[in-house]
């Protein structure tokens, strides 16, 4: 490089918000529209639990209780995935970082590869509505599309709009008691990251109580600015 040009790096976007804020739904929409890779540490951990890996075995009970899995396990899982070839397209981090230790580890990982965070976007919601949002949600086992009994039902009951699969899954931790603990963990350990990213000048806040498409439109303009 001749030094006069800024290297073009793939976008790195972070979605912040409590469980039920719509991070997964919006991340999938961004993935479709921009060809970015959605990295959900929740999905990576559920896959590790299902595969019975040592990390999965350690994480299982913690996840069932609605607590946060150790930084050590999550950072290892995320950094492995981030090193995969497809991530050069750019990533949307959904559910990571969730602690200051994870945020600092991410900064170090990105610095090592001359990358940076383009935007940390906080989806702003009312806690009181989150239990209803979470307890009605389910996912297609075929393609992973997310649905909700009330807010985003399938067009034909029990059949995925995207891939036609009839295998629908509900998460074990999407029940009222666990959700209360997950919200508490969010406020105690993750909400401080809003100030962390504000301090880096990377934070945007988006009201996220409206319709999925309205939130997507607001998100789109933040992403366009952050990746321009």
19 binds ligand AMP (CB under 6 A): yes
98 binds ligand AMP (CB under 6 A): yes
68 binds ligand AMP (CB under 6 A): yes
56 vs 90, beta carbon nearer ligand AMP: 56
26 binds ligand AMP (CB under 6 A): no
145 vs 173, beta carbon nearer ligand AMP: 173
56 binds ligand AMP (CB under 6 A): no
Q: Which residues are catalytic?
A: 23, 98, 137, 171, 182
Return all residues near 144 (Cβ < 8 A) that are at least 6 apart.
28
CA distances from 69 to 65, 82, 162 (A): 10, 18, 32
Interface segment toward ligand AMP; rule CB under 6 A; list 90-98, 113-121, 143-151, 204-212: 90-98
139 binds ligand AMP (CB under 6 A): no
11 vs 22, beta carbon nearer ligand AMP: 22
- CB of 106: closest distance to ligand AMP in angstroms? 10
| Contacting residue, 69, 125, 193, 208, with ligand AMP by CB under 6 A | 69
20 binds ligand AMP (CB under 6 A): no
63 binds ligand AMP (CB under 6 A): yes
3 vs 54, beta carbon nearer ligand AMP: 54
- CB of 139: closest distance to ligand AMP in angstroms? 10
Strands 137-140 and 168-169, by their bridges, are antiparallel
CA 5 – CA 91 distance, rounded (Å): 23
Interface segment toward ligand AMP; rule CB under 6 A; list 68-76, 135-143, 201-209, 213-221: 68-76
Which pair of tokens denotes residue 124?
A: 């702003």
Instruction: Give Cα 33 distance to the centre of its chain.
Output: 16
Residue 146 burial (CB < 10 Å; 0-12/13-18/19+)? middle
Binding site for ligand AMP (CB under 6 A): 19, 40-42, 45, 62-63, 66-69, 74, 95-96, 98, 102, 173, 182
């Amino acid at each position: 490089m001749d030094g006069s040009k800024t290297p073009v790096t793939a976008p790195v976007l972070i979605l912040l918000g409590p469980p039920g804020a719509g991070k997964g739904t919006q991340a999938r929409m961004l993935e479709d529209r921009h060809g970015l890779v959605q990295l959900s540490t929740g999905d990576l951990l559920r896959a590790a639990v299902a595969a019975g890996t040592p990390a999965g075995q350690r994480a299982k009970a913690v996840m069932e209780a609605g607590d946060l899995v150790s930084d050590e396990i999550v950072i290892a899982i995320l950094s492995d995935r981030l090193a995969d070839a497809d991530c050069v397209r750019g990533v949307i981090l959904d559910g990571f970082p969730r602690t200051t230790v994870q945020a600092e580890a991410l900064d170090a990982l990105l610095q090592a590869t001359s990358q940076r965070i383009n935007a940390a976007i906080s989806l702003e919601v009312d806690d009181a509505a989150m239990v209803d949002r979470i307890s009605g949600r389910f996912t297609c086992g075929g393609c992973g599309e997310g649905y909700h009994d009330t807010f985003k039902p399938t067009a034909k009951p029990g059949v995925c709009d995207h891939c036609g699969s009839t295998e629908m899954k509900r998460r074990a931790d999407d029940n009222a008691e666990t959700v209360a603990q997950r919200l508490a963990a969010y406020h105690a350990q993750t909400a401080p990251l809003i100030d962390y990213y504000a301090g880096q000048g990377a934070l945007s806040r988006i009201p996220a109580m409206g319709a999925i498409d309205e939130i997507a439109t607001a998100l789109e303009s933040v992403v366009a600015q952050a990746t321009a």
